[in-house]
Structure 1
């Protein structure tokens, strides 16, 4: 015998608990994303929040962005009006992900430099005192500004 739920159309709106279970995002994070303008809800007759089912896709984009290290503000900007529309489309996702590509490539390059130089001197007067005098005599890297120029691509 088939489950009666299989014959029913899915609910158009989800409670915050249903949205949390379906998306894997904690309720507190859902409320936070709503306060930050990343998602929206509506109020029912009892004044309870109800989220359009389309919010599931927006939450997926938020989780992917955060997993890639993208700041919430940038995620919100890239989502733009798409987060408030009835459905986030494949073309919306293509536009959003293309906007992140350059930033991700820059960060990948920086992480690769860090990985490749991690065991050597970072060129800032630092952790490898034995080799720093030959790489950074007289602390000439000080003129390049604060931080570790050997790791952030300035050297």
Structure 2
């Protein structure tokens, strides 16, 4: 006798089949990555195609694609339509440049870090990792913030009446 395959899955069944926690599935739903219908009792029911969407989400996350970008791409799929191999190929092509850029950045970081370990100077004046191109020299003598973003945020804060913060 062949067991009947349910057209819909509960959140627990989806979690068990996908290996993703129920809380993560609810989060994906709040983010619009997956969709469910509610029963009369308010329970979630997911179409079986949701398994493929969850697999697509997890595979995309595993290579570092942010959920916002995953959601944009999934937005091209009609609801209830699972990602196909052709869909994955198109998504991969869309993300290829961003992934290659990340890889290059990570390689540069690795090379800088390796050079820093090899140098052993730990000097804020000379260190290519902490102070690339001696950027802090332009700030004049004394201690300076190494994070330019934090420095810009501090510069935008309103000052009090005596010039303090």
State TM-score, norm by structure 2: 0.71
Q: Which runs of 5+ in 2 are unaligned?
A: 150-165
Does residue 102 in structure 1 map to residue 89 in structure 2? no
1:39 corresponds, among 2, 24, 34, to 34
Change (3 A) 1:54 1:127: farther
Name whichever structure is richer in helix by fraction.
1
Compute the displacement of 1:40 (Å): 0.2
Aligned to 2:71: 76
Q: Write the mapping of 1:44-123 to structure 2, written as runs, cut at 5 A.
A: 44-82=39-77, 84-121=79-116
Shift of 1:46: 3.2
Instruction: Tell me whether 14-23 or 64-73 shows the greater mean CA deviation.
Output: 64-73
Measure how far apart 1:25 and its partner are: 0.5
After superposition, the CA RMSD in angstroms is: 2.9
Asked if the contact 1:38/1:76 (under 8 Å) is kept, the reply is yes
Q: Distance in 2 between matches of 1:74 and 1:8?
A: 38
| Count of aligned pairs between the two proteins | 136
Question: Following the alignment from structure 1 to structure 2, what is the Cα–Cα distance between the partners of residues 139 and 130?
Answer: 8
Answer whether contact 1:14 1:51 (CA < 8 A) is retained: yes
Q: Distance in 2 between matches of 1:8 and 1:58?
A: 24
**1:41-94: CA deviations, max 9, x gaps?**
012343321000111111111111211121111110011131623322222211
C-alpha deviation, 1:138, in angstroms: 6.5
The higher relative CO (CA closer than 8 Å, separation ≥ 6) is in 1
Task: Specify the alignment match of 2:152 in structure 1.
Answer: none
Distance 2:49 2:136 in 1: 59
